[in-house]
Amino acid sequence: MPQVFFVIGPAGSGKSSVSKLLAEHYGAAYIDKDTATKRFTELLLTINGSDPNERDNNEFYQQAILPLEYASILDLTSDNLSIGRSVVLDAPFGKFFADPDYLINARREHHWPEAELIVVHVRTDGEAVRERLVARGYERDEWKLNNWEQFWTASQANACEWKGARHVDLDNSGDAVDVELPDIAFGADVPPSDQPA
C-alpha cells in the first residue's frame, strides 16, 4: 500500500530537509508546495496589487489563493497514488490543523485510492528555528522575524487535531536527523473508528 507523509512544523523547523530525506529513504515522490505553486501565487498577488512575498497577513492570499495551492498539491498526490507511488508532502498545512476530519475529507474530495496516511511532526526548538529563518533570508519570513514572539507562540499553540492517520514525532533540533520511522509500523495506532472508509 502506498503511503502519504504529511511533514508538518513551523517555518524554519527543517520540513524541506526532512521531507527530501523521507522521499529518498522511502522511494516516494516529493511534492513541495512552494515549488508547485509559487509562480502562480506570486502572479495572482501582483495582479491583486499585493506584495508578492506577503502571505501571513494578506487576506486575499489566505482566502483565495491558499486553498488553490493545497488543492493543487493534493491533486498531484492523487496522481501519484493512482500509479502506486508513495508521496511526501512538504507544506505547512497549519490553517487546517484544527479540523479533525481534514485528512478524511481530503482523501475523499481528491479521490485518493487506498493509502496509509502518516503525519510527521518535525520538532525543533525556537532559537534554532529563528536562526534558520535568519540564515535563509527569505523575504516571506520578514514578518515572522519582526514579530517573533507572536509567530512562535501561535505556531506552538496550533496543535494538529487530524484523525485518520498515524502521527510520528521527529526531532530535528540537531545537525542530523534519523528518518527511519519505526512508529510507522508499530506505534500510535489510529482507532478503527477514525480510519476513513
3-class DSSP assignment, residue 45:
helix
Q: Which CATH number fits domain 3-32+79-183: 3.90.380.10, 2.40.10.10, 3.40.50.300, 1.10.357.10?
A: 3.40.50.300
Residue with cell 526532512: 18
Q: List the chain domain ranges.
A: 3-32+79-183
Q: What gap in Å lies between CA 33 and CA 92, rounded to an integer?
A: 9
Model pLDDT for residues 66-95, shown as the tens digit of each residue: 999 999 999 999 999 999 999 999 998 989
pLDDT < 50: residue spans in the chain: 183-197
Predicted pLDDT of residue 155: 67
3-class DSSP assignment, residue 146:
helix
Predicted pLDDT of residue 184: 47
Predicted pLDDT of residue 130: 67
The DSSP annotation for the chain comes to: --EEEEEE--TTS-HHHHHHHHHHHHT-EEEEHHHHHHHHHHHHHHHTTS-TT--TT-HHIIIIIHHHHHHHHHHHHHHHHTTT--EEEE---GGGTT-TTHHHHHHHHTT--S-EEEEEEEE--HHHHHHHHHHH--GGGHHHHHTHHHHHHHHHH------SSEEEEEE-SSS------THHHHSSPPPGGGS--
For residue 60 the three cell numbers come to: 486575499
* Residue 82: count of CB within 10 angstroms of its CB: 12
Predicted pLDDT of residue 191: 36
Reported pTM = 0.77
